[in-house]
Amino acid sequence: MLLTIENLRVSYGNIKALHGISFQVDEGEIVCIIGANGAGKSTTLRAISRLIPVEPGSKITFDGKNLLDYPADKVVAELGISHVPEGRRLFENLTVMENLRLAAFARKDTAGIARDMERVFSIFPRLKERINQKAGTLSGGEQQMLAVGRALVSARRVMLLDEPSMGLAPLLMMDVFKALKDINKEGTTILLVEQNARMALQFAQRGYVLETGNLVLEGKSEDLLNNPDVKKAYLGG
Amino acid sequence: MALLEVRNMTHWFGGLRAVHNYNLTIEKGQIRGLIGPNGAGKTTIFNLITGVYHPTEGTILLEGEDITHLEPNEIASRGLGRTFQNMRLWRYLTVLEHVKMARYSKLTYGLVGAFFGTAKREAEEKANTELAMELLDLVGAAQFADQLVTSLPYGIQRRVELARALATEPKVLFLDEPTAGMNPEELIQMMEIIRKVHDQIGMAIFLIEHRMKFVMELCETIQTLNFGEVIAEGTPEEIRNNPVVIEAYLGKEVEV
Amino acid sequence: MTTETVSPPSTRQRFRAALLKAWEPYRSVPLLGWLVAILVAVGLERLVGLPLAYLLGMSKVPALLGVVVVLSDPIRIPSVLIYILLIYVVPIGLVARFTAPLFNRIAAYLMRYPLLVTALVHLLLLYADLHLWASISDYRILVARLTMIAIIVTLSLNLVNGYMGEFSCSHPGFMALGAYTASVFTLVLFVNDNRFGEAIFPPSWGPYFFPVGLVLGGVVSAIGALLVAIPSFRTRGDYLAIISLAFMFVVKSLFENMEVVGGARGVANQPDYATLPIVFVWTVLSVWIMNNFVRSTMGKALNAVRDDELAATAMTVDTRKTKMVAFLFAAFWAGVAGGLFAHVLHYINPDTFGIRKLAEVLAMVYFGGLNSVTGSIVGAVSLNLISEALRPLEIYKWIIIPIMLILIMIYRPTGLVAFTEFEIEKLFLPKGETSKGAGHGTA
Amino acid sequence: MAFFLQNLVNALQWGSFYALIAIGYSMVYGVLFLFNFAHGDIFMVGAYIGFFVSTGLLALASTGVVALPEGVTLALVLVLTLIISMILNSFVGMLVERIGYRPLRNAPRASAAITGLMIGIILETGNLAILGPQRRLFPDLIPTQTITVAGVSITNKKMLIVGISILLTVALHQFVQRSKWGMAMRAMAYDYVVVPLMGIPVNTVALMTFGLGSALAAAGGILYGTAYPVLDPNMGILFGWKAFVAAILGGRGSILGAGVAGFLLGFIEIFVATIFPSTMRNLIAFSIIMIILTFRPHGFFGEPYSARLRL
Amino acid sequence: GPAAPATIKIGINAPITGDIPKVGEGTKFAAELWLEEIGGTINVGGKDYKVELVIEDNESKGESAAAVNTKLITQDEVLVIVGPQASKQAVPAGAVANDLETPMISPWSTNPATTKDRPWVFRTPFLDPFQGPVIANFVTDEFGFTKAGVLYDIASDYPKGLAEYFKQAWEELHGEGSVVAFESFTTGDTDFSAQLTKIMDAGAEFIFAPQYYNEVALIVKQAHELGFTGPIVGSDSWGSAETVNLCGEDCYGLFFSTHYAAEGATGATKEFIDKYNAKYGYVPDDVAALTWDSLNIVKTAIENCGKLTGDIKADRKCVRDAMANIKEFHGITGDMTFTEEGDPIKCAVIVRISEEGKFTFYKQVCP
Ligand SMILES: Nc1ncnc2c1ncn2[C@@H]1O[C@H](COP(=O)(O)OP(=O)(O)OP(=O)(O)O)[C@@H](O)[C@H]1O
Ligand SMILES: Nc1ncnc2c1ncn2[C@@H]1O[C@H](COP(=O)(O)OP(=O)(O)OP(=O)(O)O)[C@@H](O)[C@H]1O
Ligand SMILES: [Mg+2]
Ligand SMILES: [Mg+2]
């Protein structure tokens, strides 16, 4: 197992967001987590990328190493886990190019960086047109492209995606997911969080269902897609 | 005379033409949709009509009056209410205060009232509280009235935003992706709320969405935008089958 | 996506629980009860304070709750503690606790009358407390007056820095405008003075016209505020910070260059119009009016503008007007406070209204709590008392106070009691189970 | 003409100090988006560190451990003092960041500003408490040589000071605009929470920003000491506030802007004092600034931005 | 309290922190030295009273000085107050002392307003209106100059007042416009190049700079760097050991008027200087000397009062009257008599800074 989460507990002040969830992601897999608003999906991703502290007793192992030993920037730089955060969180005062260059901050391989940038531009040609525009003035969808682009440049082993489809036009959404599939084929493991459960399950191999801080279901995507409870609650009947 | 009319509106951001030769007429009580690829200029059109930006060219008429160069708050008080793509709520105000705030331009008690707490102020504030509670009830968020918005679930925040926009007594309501970040269940709830609101108040609605189920079921007519220009306009059925729209926006395997 | 600290350790919680338990019986004491209890204590101090102090080996009634004594003369700590216990803590505790039912009934009874009557009763009691406490020594009177003036300044700055979320540095300038205007007003009209010559009106009229001078000072500083507001509110950003800072320098420099008002030497001989009751009345007035303002939708619009200006305009809020009104209003009160200040000290010079004053006022606002009427009062009172009390530490005072403030900022970044206003109606309600019905019935 | 030129020369030197301090402000303000009101006092600390380092070095030199010609020794001492003090002062800046700012990352910006103000007061009072009330005389590291050209007297000191200031301004500007660390600083100004997601160590970036700003302040302090050799604990206050004004006048985030505005402030002050009664220096200088900001609200090089105090 | 032995409390209102901490230090040191000197007691009417000093910091702020006085008077119940030093604090603090009827003597404040119409307030130094002409006459006699340049701090009471009195005196001697440049700056300024350039441009033969030691060093050095070669003349505020420490050789050979000359002092003055120097390691400033004198004036007044009743109000009145009645006092800063206003009439001394950096007596000028 590449990524093993055991008994993960997180709280925001007095609000308990995760009550001790455990799950695994294998090398090369696409796994998705679905759940209602406020279930704790984003919190899970934030905990893995060490943006928020976890409570004692939680364990996260990555590739045999204790992930909790690494601070947030090392999780990206040394473990190779990148994260497209909820709400994009671009550096709106910097240009598109600067955002991408920053994403490669910890990387030393100039050639590799150049290759990855090209790749981003080939997936999202729109970004290339906007290369010197400040990220803050991009349209919502363009911003989402840039957010995914940044993750592609910053680290390639595992990608944590938080609602990448939000605000994307249907056609573009297809494009993004196709690109993600390609990236996965090249060996990047993907952990995806989505509101659009149907889309997510069609895209992923396995899925977990999160409800108010607890994992209530897990299984192969097809199984979940056909599960009546899931259908009722998350697929719009 | 149309309720709202936009004539030949064009807007440039520096060297980028975000909107080109855009026209729109909305009549009382209509629900109309605006779709288009990301970056097509939809939000910009909203911003132009509601006065956040002033168009480089073109005129905007509300009930025959030119509102092109008015400030956003003036436009809002004349009857164009809106919500935002990325919800702009006020961090330190309660839900009730949010809705009451939208009554700002309707207040008449003035500074004297604000400073000295006159009887007139008490009466007005009370009336506004009642109205706000009614609106919150309408969108189903009344039980959160005294909470700060930051602690609320996303779906509820969207409803609060809607109630807030309604409190400005809009003649036309602009909704920018009202279901972004919602799951299908919540999407359906939102749709019902909007229908209910429309039935009760009867204002016109102009909305942007990427979720086709929502647009197609709610709107009477839909405009499709690409590169700042309208490429198609028509009923949901026409739009769904329009090859230009499919090419530019929907894609082949549309999931509805 | 903020990183919050984990829940506090359990020992702290247990301590808190114990404290809360001890406090339990006092929850049902209404404000009225507290005020009367304090009245008893200060009355007691008047009667037996001095003999008790002698008995404990002190030559005087300890000022400011004895902190001054403690620091300059640590051997006296036990005496001071005993004194405070006997004169303040025990009497207040006992009276408050055992008269609670009585005063709850009286408070409930008062509810039947208009709010104004209830408020007046409370204010009279509050003033009686203050008067009895302070008039034991001139030092207490001076500190009390300066502290109340600080409350006005702090609250008015909080309007801008807290409620409106801008960073204004011009308050010393506004105070200066008010102070000079009011001083010139009284000196020219009511004082025979070698700078401005013979009084125009009989000096005995002075106290009656003093409010006019104060208001005039407030108006002048509001006009000054216009000079800051017009350029700074054209665009968003930190311009207010910088323009207001420039404004403060300009005002200071202006008075330094104005020979008519003594230039750098300042103006002296302001008559003693700002007595304890006068300052009290103005303070109550300012708190009441500002509290009214921030609680109205008009005032709340400030918060909306601060939290998201674009959303505010889209919701019909006239943001420019809102900001202007609040800023001028705040400047007005700073001007009034300046006028009072000049008449308490009987002397002002441009140097009084410089960077140091700014640091002081800012400290009070942020110490007490942003966006908070209560916080402003807490901040002004505590920092004033602390800074008086720590005087014996000389130089170290200015190391200890900043450290305290830094700690507050670290552990409570928005200040001690941020985001609270009074609800005047609720303040006067009877407390405890007996009164629940009564409160709601009349509110 | 000579009169005018003389004032121009004077103004250049005076502006250099504003420029050097304004840059430090701009680093933290423009980059981390914080008001670092302690910066003026960090400048003061830098000057004092420079004082102790240089007197120490001079004492060492006078023991005759190294026998070099007078001029060379002084030049060496100056260079060493600059380097050592800049390093030491950058630690002071980092300490300030660590104590006063890091715990406040999630707090309103204004709160951090207050902490800065308080740290400043602690530095002033601490200096007074530790070193006592007497002023210090900064050693004369550059023996003055006055050249008179067409009635204008120019000293070697002035030229050196102006030269070093311009050099440092340009160097820092390049660093912030071009290097990836500079970019990381600007990113952090916008949204520090997600900065680590790019693999950027946030704390290091913050420390670096404060460190660099403080190193420049030390350079400013030392040059200041050579020109105005009387040091006192409060010397940074007014300087700091004025440089703060210059930093914003230059435009947010623009190092170059801060430098230019610093020089401009120097010019305004000197020329106001020349043309008007000099008492009106602050009055007119700040009125001019208010007017400039009215018509160019984003400063010289700044871009419009809408961020505000986060509460 | 009543049980405690009878003590006399003397309040000291000093600027220990703030702009002029060195002044505060000098005040404090001189007061402590004085206490030692008198053996901690004063004999009044045959009874020894223990003397207690209550030293308070006024942070060099006007309002704070007023608060300190109020506290000293009402809380500590001091018999008499010595201080504050600078006029900026002495003017407001004097108002408090006068209102609360407590005698106060400022050792250093030279502004007329401090004592004017205040029967309870006294001072030890001569006034600015006296010192101005002293300097004008001296320069005229010594150098025969006719064109003066003045550079002073407008935001500070003392330099501003003195500069104006000097200007008046000079123009009386040499006619309207003979002060060719009258330039000012604001407290905290360190660059005077613009003003100096203007002064030189106007053709001033010398510069009068009634500033404090820290500014003196900067003004003199900058003037020399700009190529000014004429003399720069100062006032009593130069009279600090710090002046030479900071200014160094640039100041050698310059003149200033002051209360006493440390170098070559004789008698009681020398004794004081030596004691101070032995205890604190530097030659006392004029502030210290004046504080010393003030305390001795206070002591004399208390002794002259003849009897302390224990009723603080009556005793204060008694001390005040005694103080007002001192007609002749031989202090280390010269002999003085007091006017109606409570101001001394005394001689000034012109000091020359020697080539060794010592303050040497040059001549005495009496009113
Ligand atoms: N910064 C925060 N402070 C306090 N509570 C928070 C914070 N962030 C999240 N929460 C709470 O933690 C819980 C889990 O939130 P999280 O954002 O992980 O949900 P989610 O599943 O990602 O939901 P969504 O679909 O809305 O993104 C929710 O109850 C939320 O209100
Ligand atoms: N302030 C601005 N300055 C420069 N360009 C801008 C600005 N605002 C928007 N744009 C550009 O204008 C175009 C239209 O943006 P707009 O936000 O209207 O798109 P949209 O149709 O709402 O897209 P989405 O569905 O992704 O939200 C985009 O290409 C965007 O980059
Ligand atoms: Mg989420
Ligand atoms: Mg949009």
DSSP state string for E13-75: EE--SSS-HHHHHHHHHHHHHHHHHTTTEEEETTEEEEEEEEEEE-TT-HHHHHHHHHIIIII
My answer on whether B177 and B67 are in the same domain is yes
Beta-bridge partner residues of D230: D137
Task: Answer yes or no: is pLDDT of C440 > 60.
Answer: no
Spell out a b/e string for D230-266, using b for 16 or more CB atoms within 10 Å of the CB, else e.
bbbbbbbbbbbbbbbbbbbbbbbbbbbbbbbbbbbbb
- Neighbours of B, requiring at least 3 CB pairs below 8 Å, are A, C
Counting ligands in written order, the one closest to the CA of A143 is 2
D residues 22..81 contacting C (CB < 8 A): 35
Q: Is the CB of A138 under 6 A from ligand 1?
A: no
Q: How many CA atoms, within 13 angstroms, populate the side-chain half-sphere of residue D272? A: 20
Amino acid occupying residue E348: A
Answer yes or no: is B72 within a domain: yes
The arithmetic mean of pLDDT across residues E229-236, rounded, is: 90
Answer yes or no: is C318 within a domain: yes
My answer on whether C160 and C302 are in the same domain is yes
Answer yes or no: is C130 within a domain: no
My answer on whether C251 and C153 are in the same domain is yes
Find the residue in C nearest to A51 (Cα). C3
My answer on whether C87 and C156 are in the same domain is no
Looking at residue C1, its pLDDT comes to: 40
- Domain extent for C20: 15-111
A142 to chain B, minimum CA–CA distance in Å?
A: 6
- Which residues are within 8 A (CB) of D52 and not within 5 positions of it... i.e. 6 or more apart? none
My answer on whether B64 and B175 are in the same domain is yes
My answer on whether C266 and C311 are in the same domain is yes
Kindly provide the ipTM of the predicted complex, given to two decimals.
0.84
Looking at residue E293, its pLDDT comes to: 92
Answer yes or no: is B164 within a domain: no
To the nearest 10°, the Cα dihedral for D273, D162, D252, C235?
A: 20
Task: State the alpha helices, DSSP H only, in chain B.
Answer: 42-49, 72-77, 95-101, 110-116, 119-139, 154-167, 184-201, 212-218, 236-241, 243-245
Query: Can you tell me which residue has the tokens 């605000």?
Result: A167
Looking at residue D232, its pLDDT comes to: 84
Which of D187, D196, D305 lies closest to A91 in CB terms? Answer: D187
CA-proximal residue: ligand 1, atom 5 (nearest): A12
Task: Answer yes or no: is pLDDT of E20 > 90.
Answer: no
Q: What is the pLDDT along chain B (256 residues), one digit of tens a residue?
A: 789 999 999 999 877 788 999 999 999 999 999 998 888 899 999 999 999 999 999 999 999 999 999 999 999 999 999 999 878 899 889 999 999 999 999 988 888 888 988 889 999 999 999 999 999 999 999 999 998 888 787 788 889 999 999 999 999 999 998 987 777 778 888 999 999 999 998 999 999 998 888 899 999 999 999 889 999 999 999 998 888 888 888 776 544 3
The CATH number of the domain where B209 resides is what? 3.40.50.300
The arithmetic mean of pLDDT across residues A27-49, rounded, is: 89
Q: Which of B70-74, C279-283, C396-400 has the lowest average pLDDT?
A: C396-400
CA–chain centroid gap for C133, Å, is 18
Answer yes or no: is C218 within a domain: yes
Answer yes or no: is C380 within a domain: yes
Residue A72 tokens read as 């947030």
My answer on whether B250 and B176 are in the same domain is yes
* SS3 letters across chain C: CCCCCCCCCHHHHHHHHHHHHHHHHHHHCCHHHHHHHHHHHHHHHHHHHHHHHHHCCCCCCCHHHHHHHHHHCHHHHHHHHHHHHHHHHHHHHHHHHHHHHHHHHHHHHHCCCCHHHHHHHHHHHHHHHHHHHHCCCHHHHHHHHHHHHHHHHHHHHHHHHHHCCCCCCCHHHHHHHHHHHHHHHHHHHHCCECCCECCCCCHHHHHHHHHHHHHHHHHHHHHHHHHHHHHHCCCCCCHHHHHHHHHHHHHHHHHHHCHHHCHHHCEECCCCCCCHHHHHHHHHHHHHHHHHHHHCHHHHHHHHHHHCHHHHHHCCCCHHHHHHHHHHHHHHHHHHHHHHHHHHHCEECHHHHCHHHHHHHHHHHHHHCCCCHHHHHHHHHHHHHHHHHCHHHHHHHHHHHHHHHHHHHHHCCCCCCCCCCCCHHHHCCCCCHHHHHHHHHHC
- Does E87 contact chain C (CB < 8 Å)? yes
Looking at residue C66, its pLDDT comes to: 64
Answer yes or no: is C118 within a domain: no
Find the residue in A nearest to C7 (Cα). A13
Q: How far is the CA of C2 from the centre of ligand 1 (A)?
A: 11
Chain A residues touching C1 at Cβ < 8 A:
46, 51-52, 85-86, 89
Q: How far is the CA of A162 from the centre of ligand 3 (A)?
A: 7
Chain E residues touching C149 at Cβ < 8 A:
none
Q: Is the CB of A126 under 6 A from ligand 2?
A: no
Q: Ligand 2, closest atom to CA B44? A: 18
In tens, the pLDDT along C163-186 reads 998 888 899 999 999 999 999 999
My answer on whether B133 and B181 are in the same domain is no
Task: Answer yes or no: is pLDDT of E363 > 80.
Answer: yes
Give the model's confidence band at C5: pLDDT under 50 very low, under 70 low, under 90 confident, else very high.
very low
Give the model's confidence band at E260: pLDDT under 50 very low, under 70 low, under 90 confident, else very high.
confident
Counting ligands in written order, the one closest to the CA of A33 is 1
Pick from D4, D54, D5, D106: nearest CA to D223 = D54
My answer on whether B153 and B185 are in the same domain is no
Chain C residues touching D311 at Cβ < 8 A:
162, 165, 306-307, 370-371, 414
Collect residues with CB below 5 Å from ion ligand 4: A 140; B 43, 85
In tens, the pLDDT along E304-321 reads 888 888 888 889 999 999
Chain C residues touching E74 at Cβ < 8 A:
137-139
In tens, the pLDDT along E114-140 reads 888 889 999 988 888 888 888 999 999
Answer yes or no: is B2 within a domain: yes
- Could you tell me the CA-to-CA distances from A23 to A198, A199, A215, A219 in Å, in that order? 21, 21, 9, 11
CA-proximal residue: ligand 1, atom 18 (nearest): A40
CA-proximal residue: ligand 2, atom 27 (nearest): A140
My answer on whether C105 and C144 are in the same domain is no
* Greatest C-alpha distance within chain A: 50
Beta-bridge partner residues of B207: B33, B175
Chain C residues touching E316 at Cβ < 8 A:
none
Answer yes or no: is C57 within a domain: yes
Answer yes or no: is C346 within a domain: yes
Kindly report the backbone phi and psi dihedral angles of residue D33, in degrees, each rounded to the nearest multiple of 5, phi listed first: 65, 35
Looking at residue E116, its pLDDT comes to: 84
Give the model's confidence band at A237: pLDDT under 50 very low, under 70 low, under 90 confident, else very high.
low
Using the beta-carbon criterion (under 8 Å), do A14 and C7 form an inter-chain contact?
yes
My answer on whether C281 and C233 are in the same domain is yes
Contact C91, C83 (CB under 8 A): no
My answer on whether C71 and C142 are in the same domain is no
* SS3 letters across A165-181: CCCCCHHHHHHHHHHHH
Using the beta-carbon criterion (under 8 Å), do D199 and A77 form an inter-chain contact?
yes
Q: Which of B212-226, C219-233, C397-411, E54-68 has the lowest average pLDDT?
A: E54-68
The arithmetic mean of pLDDT across residues A142-168, rounded, is: 85
My answer on whether B118 and B192 are in the same domain is no
The pLDDT averaged over each successive group of 10 residues in chain D (311 residues) is 80 88 84 82 94 91 74 86 94 91 81 87 89 84 78 82 90 88 84 84 90 92 88 85 85 83 89 78 82 78 48 29
The CATH number of the domain where C316 resides is what? 1.10.3470
Which of C54, C352, C395 lies closest to E16 in CB terms? Answer: C395
Looking at residue C216, its pLDDT comes to: 97
Q: Supply angle C-alpha B115, C417, C332, rounded to 5.
A: 30
Higher pLDDT, C137 or C236: C137
Using the beta-carbon criterion (under 8 Å), do B86 and A140 form an inter-chain contact?
yes
My answer on whether B194 and B255 are in the same domain is yes
Can you give the residue ranges of every domain in chain D? 2-308
Looking at residue C424, its pLDDT comes to: 72
* Domain count for chain C: 2
Answer yes or no: is B165 within a domain: no
In tens, the pLDDT along E87-105 reads 888 988 998 898 889 999 9
Using the beta-carbon criterion (under 8 Å), do A154 and D194 form an inter-chain contact?
no
Answer yes or no: is B211 within a domain: yes
Higher pLDDT, B118 or E80: E80
Contact D87, D215 (CB under 8 A): yes
My answer on whether C218 and C265 are in the same domain is yes
Answer yes or no: is C20 within a domain: yes
- E47: number of Cβ within 10 Å: 11
In tens, the pLDDT along C20-36 reads 888 888 888 888 888 99
- Which residues are within 8 A (CB) of C277 and not within 5 positions of it... i.e. 6 or more apart? C127, C131
What CATH topology corresponds to D2-308? ABC transporter involved in vitamin B12 uptake, BtuC (1.10.3470)
Q: Which H or E element spans position A126?
A: helix A125-129
Beta-bridge partner residues of D148: D153
The arithmetic mean of pLDDT across residues A148-175, rounded, is: 84
Q: Ligand 2, closest atom to CA B225? A: 21
Answer yes or no: is B85 within a domain: no
The arithmetic mean of pLDDT across residues A151-180, rounded, is: 83
Contact D221, D85 (CB under 8 A): yes
- Domain extent for B47: 1-79+170-256
My answer on whether B176 and B252 are in the same domain is yes
Which of A51, A76, A101 lies closest to D199 in CB terms? Answer: A76
Q: Is the CB of A136 under 6 A from ligand 2?
A: no
Answer yes or no: is B147 within a domain: yes
- Which residues are within 8 A (CB) of C236 and not within 5 positions of it... i.e. 6 or more apart? C309, D305, D306, D308
Counting ligands in written order, the one closest to the CA of B12 is 2
The arithmetic mean of pLDDT across residues E194-210, rounded, is: 90
* Domain count for chain B: 2
Burial class (CB in 10 A: 0-12, 13-18, 19+), B232: buried
